[in-house]
Amino acid sequence: MIVLKIFSGLCAVYFFITLIRSLISWSNKYKTFIDFCRLEGDAETISYIGYKEFYGEEYGLRKSYSLGAALERLNSQYEKTCKKEYFEYGEYIRINRYKSILYVIVIFLCIIVVTVQM
């Protein structure tokens, strides 16, 4: 019983650290892509991926956006310009969009296991 408590506690800590690392990675990838779009002068794609210009903030605020519309825009820009950055960011979004949600669910499951066993 005690071993299961320790194990689920360690799992919760591990997944919490993994969640933080994935969110930092996601943010860095987002900022890099925004900088790329700014250099390309592609304001329309920036708005499709949820970027909103905000005075005083370096990268603006993220607003809600349609993931399908963003991926469609990224694919059409890739076909138009043949620049791999559009394709790579689209693939990154497609692959990693549910990871953070999964990590949060696992953390809560680990916490529930610990509290039920008390």
Q: What is the pLDDT of residue 84?
A: 86
Q: What is the pLDDT of residue 60?
A: 54
Res. 39: pLDDT tops 60 = yes
Instruction: Give the Cα separation of 113 and 1 in Å (integer).
Output: 11
Phi-psi region of 40 (alpha: psi -120 to 50; beta: other; left: phi over 0): alpha
**pTM exceeding the 0.85 threshold for the entire prediction:** no
Instruction: Give the Cα separation of 49 and 30 in Å (integer).
Output: 9
Of 89, 100, 9, 81, the closest CA to residue 49 belongs to 89
pLDDT in tens, 65-94: 677 778 888 888 888 888 888 888 888 888
**Mean pLDDT in residue range 26-35:** 82
